[in-house]
Amino acid sequence: MADDLFSLENKVALVTGGNSGLGRDIALAFAQAGALVAIAGRRAERNAHVLASLGPAAAAFELNVADEGSVERALAGTVDQFGRIDILVNNAGIGQRASVMELDRDTWQYVIDTNLTGAFLCTKHAARHMKTQGAGKIINISSIYGVIAPSKGLQVAYTVAKHGVIGLTKVNAVELAPLNIQVNAIVPGWYFTEMTEELRGTAFEQSVVRRTPAGRWGDGRDIIGTCLYLASAASDYVSGAVITVDGGYTASDGLERN
């Protein structure tokens, strides 16, 4: 019975930004758990590479999450191919680093659109399909900078967007709960992915290690269990939750422990 609670057998999942980083790790874990997985991202060659690892039952769609037409096509394509959509993971995102005094409006808007508006649009169209099914799971990937701010500021649009993802999670959890759609957020800490690989071996890497009670950076395996839980029947009474998977980073006051 416990195994059934966590099973994703024949569930249909769409992972945005599923062609790299944590999104790829989540997509592969879902497939290994028995789900039928669609990944969506802007880079067709990366989509194809991950698709080959997911197996013959998977699908890939070119997707710009900031373009509502593109979102509609990806969701409709998933439903056309698999007959339904049970799980949406809003993972697509980009980083940004600039002073509030220097950040230009176009860059601000681009980061907000990709990290926040995209999650709104994907939720909007996925929820419409889930409503007709009578059930669904939406998992939003926020960030530690969705609950705190960088020590030097600077990541203005990214921090605002990731805070917004948590607000989006809560308001949609409340609205969609009567439809048996659960909406939750995951707050990853510092993980080594393509976006952060340049930080490996730097003084900043060591600063994060000292700041993190677990004493290390995360990798894709660390986030998989939480995603599987939130995607499965085991979390049917969980909605509006914000789960940190950060090695204790945001629980600590940040002072040196030595």
Residue 106 domain flag: yes
| Residue with token string 């900031």 | 66
C-beta separation of 33 from 18 below 8 A: no
pLDDT tens sequence across 185-196 = 999 999 988 888
Q: Classify residue 253 as exposed, middle or buried by CB count within 10 Å of its CB (0-12, 13-18, 19+).
A: exposed
Q: Mean pLDDT across the chain, nearest whole number?
A: 94
pLDDT tens sequence across 52-75 = 999 888 999 999 999 999 999 999
pLDDT tens sequence across 98-131 = 999 999 999 999 999 999 999 999 999 999 999 9
pLDDT of residue 228: 98
Q: Which amino acid is at 134?
A: G
Residue 105 token pair: 């409006």
Give the residue-averaged pLDDT of 40-44.
Answer: 90
Residue 255 domain flag: no
pLDDT of residue 1: 57
Residue 243 domain flag: yes
Residue 16 token pair: 């945005």
pLDDT tens sequence across 175-187 = 999 999 999 999 9
Residue 98 domain flag: yes
Distance CA 205, CA 190 (A): 9
Catalytic residue selected from 145, 158, 191, 229: 158
Distance CA 167, CA 218 (A): 25
Distance CA 14, CA 112 (A): 21
pLDDT at 203 over 90: yes
Q: Is 158 assigned a catalytic role?
A: yes
Confidence band of 229 (pLDDT split at 50, 70, 90):
very high
What residues are paired with 16 via a beta bridge? 40
Residue 99 domain flag: yes
Residue 172 domain flag: yes
Residue 69 domain flag: yes
pLDDT of residue 232: 98
Q: Which CA distances in Å does 33 have to 6, 37, 70, 131, 227?
A: 9, 10, 28, 24, 11
C-beta separation of 11 from 86 below 8 A: yes
Give the CATH number of the domain where residue 230 resides.
3.40.50.720
Residue 215 domain flag: yes
Which residue range forms the structural domain that includes residue 92?
A: 2-248
pLDDT at 143 over 70: yes
Give the residue-averaged pLDDT of 204-218.
Answer: 94
For the chain, the domain total comes to 1
Q: Which amino acid is at 243?
A: I
